Structure 1
Amino acid sequence: MNRKLISSGSEFESKMGYSRAVVDGDYVFVSGTTGYNYQEGRISEDVKEQADQCFKNIQAALQEAGSSIENAVRVTYIVPNRDDFEPCFPVLAKWLGEVRPAATVFEARLLDDNMKIEIQVTARLNG
């Protein structure tokens, strides 16, 4: 069985010993992903913009792995403030409205107080 590690280049990956995504068998497991914009080197203060950036980061990892968001089978949302989740619904529907993976959401503190949402995805490989 082939195993492939995908990196975003984040310093946290080497510090903490994890990968942005792991391809194992027919699946891609994408780590919890925040709304950090790597091109701009910043994170938005707006939870909806963070959610959209999370999916852009996830899509980049999935594409590198040979998959796409359309192949998502499970999604997990983590929000430090559950009141921030409902405003994200239009963003979630934009990315997953047709895909409709199994989903879970829970409230928990994130590593940085600027982070308002973290999203984890499992997807099948293309083909």
Structure 2
Amino acid sequence: MTRKLISSGSPFEAQIGYSRAVAVDGWVFVSGTTGYDYATMVMPEDVAEQAANALATIAKALGEAGASLDDVVQVKYILTDGNDFEACWPVLSKAFATAMPAATMIEARLMNPEMKIEIEAVAKIRA
């Protein structure tokens, strides 16, 4: 079994004890990712901007594993207010226009009140 741990540099990873992504045997499992810009630790107020930031972080982690958003086979969206989901659709549909992954949207409270969306993804690295 080959296993690669990938970090985004988020302080939460070290504090809580997890990796942004784990690549194992041709699969990449990306942890739930919120909308922080991890370079500045700034969280935009707009849910669609948060989704775009989360997808950028996910894309970077996938790239480090040898995959891309086009390789995503499953995605889970967790929103604090399900009514915000539609505002994210343009960002999400652009990111996953090629992959068209299986998807789920869940409404739940997130770790910090400023977090409006968290995105988790699974990708299969192409041979």
TM-score, normalised relative to structure 1: 0.96
Alignment partners' CA distance in 1, 2:81 and 2:75: 18
Q: Is 1:123 matched with 2:116?
A: no
Does the CA-based 8 Å contact 2:75-2:103 persist in structure 1? yes
**Over residues 40-95 of structure 1, what are the superposed CA-to-partner deviations in whole Å (9 max), with x where a residue is unaligned?**
33010000111111100000000011111100000000000001101111111110
Q: Which moved more, 1:8-17 or 1:52-61?
A: 8-17
Shift of 1:10: 1.3
Q: Is 1:83 matched with 2:79?
A: no
Q: Percent identity?
A: 52
> Unaligned stretches of 5+ in structure 1?
none
Shift of 1:9: 1.4
- RMSD, aligned CA: 0.9
Alignment partners' CA distance in 2, 1:95 and 1:12: 25
Q: Give runs of aligned pairs for residues 36-55 of structure 1, distance below 5 A.
A: 36-55=36-55
Alignment partners' CA distance in 2, 1:24 and 1:41: 28
How many equivalent residue pairs?
127
Alignment partners' CA distance in 2, 1:84 and 1:111: 17
TM-score, normalised relative to structure 2: 0.96
Residue in 1 that maps onto 2:16: 16
Does the CA-based 8 Å contact 2:9-2:38 persist in structure 1? no
> Unaligned stretches of 5+ in structure 2?
none
1:78 and 1:92, CA in 2 relative to 1: closer, same or farther beyond 3 A?
same
Residue in 1 that maps onto 2:97: 97
